[in-house]
């Protein structure tokens, strides 16, 4: 390890790591920020395990005062939750897969330099990024094509996004052209080349875009609020919205009334929030590596 | 001389006939046109509704194709409307505040995070600070509303502890007096970690030798931040700044709607929610009026984008196109 040569004397050495006042400030600042970020989630969890009427007296901040599972029982007993959950899962899975496929197909064609009329396709795409018709005309189109209050209103309008297309296509463009030529010589069609060569080679960027799409589908309630009547096609987030904004309570159903008396709409909505957060919380640690990498790809290229 | 030789060598360009893969590629690219025709260009045609009389019409589609032009009547209407000025001033004020606070925050956050040498700590901070971005506004907003509830939340005891309020004179953050503070802080917490990723990625791309050279020359930590890191990520900052400027009239519908209630609406009503409320979201059905508002919004956005790009090109020599 010891190399006693004279180069060491002139070799650059990074300065020793010393804790300056600024370092201390940084560590405390970041620590405080983490606390501010985590605490709200913790607060909701605590509230969801606390007895409803008792919670209204205030002072439940760090730990449930009167522990109970009633809030969860009531929410799980609500049929609307299960239906909303089913629709949200379907919407997220189908929407992500179809959206990613559709966008990748277009992105592939756009990444090929030999595409005829490439400039025209690009201008037609880019223009829509900077100018839109606005909410009402868009809504009218949704109605006119018969998508209003159907499940497909969650899927079809979300099939394509110009921004995602550009992100994917810039990644495709960086794939070596020799692979494309080799595939062509072997007689593969463009579709075949896309699905057997380009897509398997582009997992980082595809995973990133898939994550964006999935999060959008899982978290959005705008679609339900505006493009459906909000009853048969209720999504999980819309269900939450109703609980929060209208302070409404799930139906009592066949629950004993003593259970129902100690409830409050607040704690019930917390338990619904915790339930809706759980899937995100579960997949988050696994995906976290992906998106830091992926967003770098997207941003540096695009 | 050389040119003419080259020209002689080049054969006149013959138009190659399309082969199968040309057709395939065009077909693939046309999928986007099909989609955009329906969901982007048709709505652009629908903008004509702004110049027609379709208010209160149950069958709006019919009035869209009917010959009932009213010129700029709908625009005059909202310029004469007091509500319009409230909404516009809310929208612009909140967006300006966000531009001043929320725009630089991720940049500063990224610069700070980059200075932390303890890798594990850095990773942890990054992981946790990004998490709120993945929570929906119903969940995050719902929790913020719970936290700031005057009776049960945590803000009341904190304000009392800080002697900002007392039992008789409580501060309710959800009322019109404080709603902007609440909106901006919640939006900040939710977006700062995620927003910093892009700047961190840009910082990682900087050649470390530049830092080493600067350190050898005696540049301190802040000097390195100021004269190396910041200039190196200025291109990224410019792009995001222009895009942010062009969104000066846009707000996240999902965010604002969750915070709105009867006591703060005078300060929390913004253009995006207002357009929805006067048309689809209520019995008012002022479709033409809302279309006119939407068109106004789009045009201002486009102008701001071009303006921002122009100014940026003049000052930094960089733009987004």
Residues A149 and A23 grouped into a single domain: no
Say if A237 falls within a structural domain. yes
Residues A214 and A231 grouped into a single domain: yes
Residue B1: pLDDT over 50: no
- Which of B118, B146, B281 is nearest residue A266 as measured by Cβ atoms? B146
pLDDT tens by residue, B272-289: 999 999 888 887 888 888
Given a contact cutoff of 8 angstroms between Cβ atoms, the answer to whether B216 and A12 are in contact is yes
Residues A63 and A108 grouped into a single domain: no
- Which of A56, A110, A130 is nearest residue B305 as measured by Cβ atoms? A130
Which chain A residues have a beta carbon less than 8 Å from that of B136?
Answer: 218-221, 237, 240, 276
- Cα A203 to Cα A199: distance, rounded to the nearest angstrom: 7
- Of A201, A226, A249, the last residue of a domain is A249
Say if A95 falls within a structural domain. yes
Given a contact cutoff of 8 angstroms between Cβ atoms, the answer to whether B44 and A132 are in contact is yes
Average pLDDT over residues A98-115: 94
Domain boundaries, chain B: 73-117+192-316
Which chain A residues have a beta carbon less than 8 Å from that of B279?
Answer: 135-136, 139
Q: Which of A52-56, A192-196, A212-216 has the lowest mean pLDDT?
A: A52-56
Q: In the predicted model, what is the mean pLDDT of chain B?
A: 86
Say if A58 falls within a structural domain. yes
- Which of B47, B152, B293 is nearest residue A56 as measured by Cβ atoms? B152
**pTM recorded for the entire structure:** 0.86
Q: How far is A2 from chain B (nearest CA, A)?
A: 23
The more confidently predicted of residues A103 and A170 is A103
Residues A56 and A165 grouped into a single domain: no
Which chain A residues have a beta carbon less than 8 Å from that of B142?
Answer: 44, 240, 244, 269, 273
Alpha helices in chain A (DSSP H): 7-10, 21-48, 52-55, 70-76, 79-111, 118-130, 135-144, 152-155, 162-173, 177-185, 190-193, 199-201, 203-219, 222-227, 236-245, 257-261, 265-301
Which of the residues B17, B33, B35 would you substitute to probe the A interface, choosing the one with the greatest number of A C-beta atoms within 10 Å?
B35
- Of A230, A249, A268, the last residue of a domain is A249
Residues A214 and A125 grouped into a single domain: yes
- Cα B113 to Cα A208: distance, rounded to the nearest angstrom: 23
Say if A174 falls within a structural domain. yes
Q: B320 falls in which pLDDT band (50, 70, 90)? A: low
Q: In the predicted model, what is the mean pLDDT of chain A?
A: 85
Q: In this complex, do A269 and B139 lie within 8 Å of one another by their Cβ atoms?
A: no
pLDDT tens by residue, B31-62: 999 999 999 999 998 888 888 887 766 677 77
Residues A103 and A243 grouped into a single domain: yes
Determine what percent of chain B is predicted with pLDDT higher than 90. Answer: 33
Three-point CA angle A90, A96, A98, nearest 5°: 95
Q: A15 falls in which pLDDT band (50, 70, 90)? A: low
pLDDT in the model for residue A99:
96
Q: Does A301 touch chain B (CB under 8 A)?
A: no
- Which of B128, B200, B272 is nearest residue A37 as measured by Cβ atoms? B128
- Which of B24, B26, B29 is nearest residue A189 as measured by Cβ atoms? B24
Residue A1: pLDDT over 50: no
Residue A275: which of B132, B154, B136 has the closest Cα?
A: B136
Which chain B residues have a beta carbon less than 8 Å from that of A112?
Answer: 25
Q: Search chain A and give the residue with CA nearest B304.
A: A130
Residues 6 or more apart in contact with residue B75 via CB below 8 angstroms? B50, B292, B296
Q: A301 falls in which pLDDT band (50, 70, 90)? A: very low
* Residue B168, φ and ψ in degrees, nearest 5: -85, -25
Q: In this complex, do B42 and A141 lie within 8 Å of one another by their Cβ atoms?
A: yes
Kindly report the CATH number assigned to the domain that includes residue A155. Answer: 1.10.3720.10
Longest dimension (CA), chain B: 93
Residues A25 and A161 grouped into a single domain: no
Say if A36 falls within a structural domain. yes
CB A11: neighbour CB atoms within 10 A? 8
pLDDT in the model for residue B94:
93
Residue with tokens 């929208």: B91
Residues A47 and A153 grouped into a single domain: no
pLDDT tens by residue, B215-258: 888 888 888 888 999 988 888 888 888 888 888 888 889 999 99
Residues A195 and A162 grouped into a single domain: yes
Residues A107 and A163 grouped into a single domain: yes
pLDDT tens by residue, A199-226: 999 888 898 889 889 989 999 999 999 9
Residue A49: pLDDT over 90: yes
Question: Residue A67 pairs with which residues in a beta bridge?
Answer: A50
Which chain B residues have a beta carbon less than 8 Å from that of A38?
Answer: 128
Residues A115 and A239 grouped into a single domain: yes
Which chain B residues have a beta carbon less than 8 Å from that of A285?
Answer: 127
Q: Does A184 touch chain B (CB under 8 A)?
A: yes
Show the domain range for A66.
16-71
Residues A65 and A126 grouped into a single domain: no
At the second CATH level, the architecture of B73-117+192-316 is: Orthogonal Bundle (1.10)
Say if A275 falls within a structural domain. no
Q: Does A111 touch chain B (CB under 8 A)?
A: no
- Of A52, A71, A90, the last residue of a domain is A71
Say if A110 falls within a structural domain. yes
Q: A14 falls in which pLDDT band (50, 70, 90)? A: low
């Amino acid at each position: 390890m010891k190399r006693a040569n004279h180069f060491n004397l002139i070799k650059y050495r990074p300065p020793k790591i010393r804790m300056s006042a600024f370092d201390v400030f940084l560590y405390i600042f970041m620590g405080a920020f983490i606390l501010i970020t985590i605490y709200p989630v913790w607060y909701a969890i605590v509230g969801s395990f606390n007895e409803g009427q008792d919670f209204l007296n205030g002072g439940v901040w760090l730990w449930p005062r009167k522990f109970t599972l009633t809030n969860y029982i009531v929410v799980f007993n609500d049929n609307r939750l299960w239906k909303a959950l089913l629709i949200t899962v379907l919407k997220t899975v189908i929407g992500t897969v179809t959206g990613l496929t559709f966008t990748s197909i277009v992105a592939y064609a756009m990444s090929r330099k030999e595409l005829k009329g490439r400039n025209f396709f690009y201008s037609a795409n880019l223009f829509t990024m900077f100018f839109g018709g606005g909410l009402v005309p868009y809504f009218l189109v949704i109605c006119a094509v018969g998508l209003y209050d159907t499940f497909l209103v969650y899927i079809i309008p979300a099939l394509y996004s110009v921004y995602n297309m550009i992100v994917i296509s810039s990644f495709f463009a960086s794939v070596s052209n020799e692979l494309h030529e080799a595939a062509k010589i072997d007689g593969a069609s463009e579709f075949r080349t896309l699905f057997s060569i380009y897509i398997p080679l582009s997992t980082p960027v595809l995973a990133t875009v898939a994550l964006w799409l999935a999060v959008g589908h899982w978290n959005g309630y705008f679609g339900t609020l505006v493009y459906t009547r909000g009853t048969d096609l209720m999504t999980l987030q819309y269900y939450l919205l109703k609980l929060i904004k209208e302070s409404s309570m799930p139906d009592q159903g066949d629950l004993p009334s003593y259970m129902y008396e100690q409830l409050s709409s607040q704690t019930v909505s917390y338990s619904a929030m915790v339930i809706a957060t759980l899937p995100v919380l579960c997949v988050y640690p696994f995906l976290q590596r992906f998106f830091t990498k992926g967003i770098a790809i997207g941003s540096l290229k695009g | 001389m050389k040119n003419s030789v080259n020209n002689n060598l080049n054969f006149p360009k013959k138009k190659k006939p399309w082969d199968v893969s040309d057709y395939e590629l065009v077909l693939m690219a046309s999928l986007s046109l099909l989609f955009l025709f329906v969901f982007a260009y048709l709505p652009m045609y629908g903008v004509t509704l702004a110049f027609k009389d379709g208010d209160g019409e149950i069958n709006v589609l019919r009035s869209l194709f009917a010959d009932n032009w009213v010129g700029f009547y709908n625009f005059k209407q909202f310029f004469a409307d007091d509500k319009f000025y409230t909404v516009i001033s809310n929208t612009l004020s909140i967006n300006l505040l966000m531009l001043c606070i929320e725009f630089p925050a991720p940049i500063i956050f990224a610069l700070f995070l980059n200075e932390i040498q303890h890798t594990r700590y850095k990773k942890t901070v990054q992981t946790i600070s990004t998490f709120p971005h993945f929570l929906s506004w119903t969940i995050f907003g719902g929790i913020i509303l719970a936290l700031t509830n005057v009776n049960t939340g945590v803000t009341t005891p904190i304000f009392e502890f800080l002697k900002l309020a007392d039992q008789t004179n409580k501060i309710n953050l959800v009322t019109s007096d404080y709603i902007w503070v609440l909106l901006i802080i919640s939006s900040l917490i939710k977006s700062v970690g995620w927003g910093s990723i892009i700047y961190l990625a840009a910082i990682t791309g900087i050649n470390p030798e530049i830092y080493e050279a600067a350190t050898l020359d005696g540049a301190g930590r802040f000097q390195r931040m100021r004269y190396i890191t910041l200039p190196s990520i200025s291109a990224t900052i410019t792009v995001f700044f222009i895009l942010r400027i062009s969104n000066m009239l846009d707000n996240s519908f999902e965010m604002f709607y969750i915070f709105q209630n009867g006591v703060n609406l005078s300060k929390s009503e913004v253009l995006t929610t207002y357009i929805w409320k006067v048309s689809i979201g209520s019995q008012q059905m002022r479709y033409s009026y809302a279309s006119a508002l939407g068109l106004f919004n789009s045009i201002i956005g486009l102008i701001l984008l071009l303006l921002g790009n122009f100014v940026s090109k003049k000052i930094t020599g960089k733009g987004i196109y």
